[in-house]
Amino acid sequence: MGDSSLENAAADSLAPHSCTIAYSEPLRRLLRQVVDLAAPLRVALVGGAVRDLLLHRPHNDPRLGLPDLDLIVEESTPGVRAPAAHRVAITLRQQLGKAVSLFHLHDAFGTAELEVNGILLDIATARQEHYPEPGSHPVVQFGSLEDDLSRRDLSINAMAMVLDPRENNTAHLLDPFDGRSDLARHQLRFLHADSLRDDPTRIVRAARYGARLGMDLSKASLIQVHTTLADWPWQIKSRGSLPGLGTRLRSELELLLGREPWEKALMLLQQWGSLVLLDPGLQHDRHWLRRLRRAQRLAARLERPPWPQEEWLLLALLARLDDPLTLAKRLQLAGRCHRLLTELLRLRGWVCQTATEPEWSPSRLSQALERQGFSPEGVTLLLAAYSGLEFPPRLRRGLLRWLLHWRTLRAEPTADDLIAAGERPGPGLGMRLRQLRAERLDRQRW
């Protein structure tokens, strides 16, 4: 859908008070069941389903292709032992039995996750929250639908379709922050003056939505980004990191790199001056796009791609930093990521020491890499991080050939062949096999 049709859809799609939910009959029946179970509490659609209804677009999970709905149930009784979303989800499973193929309750925020006959359903209890200090985990308590919308990041995410308990396919738009107008203007607007101060990961979420929906920050929101980053209210630079903030940043980056048009999203973050949130070096890095594309191409050429795309691209993003391990620690990356970045630093040093070596042969290079314990993943990351202009082309070509071919070559004849021919097992056989492999390697094209 082009810009003009998207704007018209947003402007014309809903009357201020109500709309028709144009879903399939099974989906409408399921929503009706949730509304009946929650009565007299209000139930509302939130998130992407609301935006897609306003834009007349189908709404499915981008990975699974299934209908994917987020629902909020208002909680009217303070201090209840089982939050409203849990009560509704448990009763729904009891009523539907085997039709429920996935069922999870999450205690921390009173949410439930279900799959019912191929429909993904996330049910949350409406809540309010506040941040004791910038970047910390929020303090949460249950609240009204209006409370729940006011805690959100962007105006386009602070809209709800309150399902009508009397009409099977009718909903009322609840839009206290005028998100529908921002949707029509293609602009991303933070809800509050302290939105980023409370949770800087919201800037990464804004980039995700901007890339996905073709939107950009409003002028006021961009000013908030610049002033908040300049003020730097978090503890990262001075008194150490906030573990919760690092974990949330990593999670948002993985979503950006794994599920979104990541090139556009990272460009937006750099355009907004926001990559400094990770490391000042990234903000001034003009080569990250080529590096990440190389990482993708190289991984695709391996028989077994290294890791999930989001983790691999994140490592490639960090690979040219002076101190990638510090950022990896702050983001609380997995141990294997720390080990690979440590190996990358060793590889960088090894290449600097051996770059002018004139006598490389396929066997000598292979033996040197393997003696040092360098892994295919480490060499792949090195080749992704550094172009052919940054160390000798002959050495780069040799590293690439080792990665894609030489490392898998074995001696011919094999150990079994030699034993069958009368060789005795032992150190002598091992030396003979190494010699045969070296001879075979040196018959390969450099």
pLDDT tens figures, 280-336 = 999 999 999 999 999 999 999 987 777 899 999 999 999 999 999 999 999 999 999
Which of the two residues, 358 and 257, has the higher pLDDT score?
257
At 62 the pLDDT is: 58
CA distances from 284 to 261, 287, 289, 391 (A): 21, 9, 12, 22
Nearest to 93, CA basis, from 102, 80, 82: 102
Q: What is the mean pLDDT of the chain?
A: 89
Q: What is the SS3 assignment for 106?
A: strand
Q: What per-residue confidence (pLDDT) applies to 13?
A: 39
**pLDDT digit string (tens) for 408-428?**
998 888 777 777 777 778 787
236-275: b (≥16 Cβ within 10 Å) or e: beeeebbeebbebbbebbbbbbbbbebeebbbbbbebebb
> Of 11, 148, 14, 5, which Cα lies nearest the Cα of 72?
148
Q: Rounded mean pLDDT of 67-79?
A: 84
pLDDT digits 0-9 by tens, 3-54: 433 344 334 434 345 777 878 888 999 999 999 999 999 999 999 999 988 8
d(CA 231, CA 240): 17
Q: What whole-number percentage of the chain has pLDDT above 70?
A: 91
- Which H/E stretch holds residue 73? strand 68-73
Question: The tokens of 306 are what?
Answer: 């290294």
Cα radius of gyration (the chain): 28
Backbone angles phi, psi at 243, to 5 degrees: -55, -40
* Structural class in CATH, domain 188-277: mainly alpha
The dihedral sign for the CA sequence 378, 381, 386, 388? positive
Instruction: Check residues 377 and 139 and name the one with the higher pLDDT.
Output: 377
- Residue 167 pLDDT: 82
CATH ID of 3-185, from 3.40.50.20, 3.65.10.10, 3.30.460.10, 3.30.70.100:
3.30.460.10
CA atoms of 157 and 153, how far apart (whole Å): 7
Q: What is the mean pLDDT of residues 168-197?
A: 94
Q: Return the domain boundaries, the chain.
A: 3-185, 188-277, 286-408
Question: What CA–CA distances, in Å, run from 379 to 236, 319, 402?
Answer: 31, 12, 9
CB 382 within 8 A of CB 399: yes
The whole model's pTM is what? 0.88
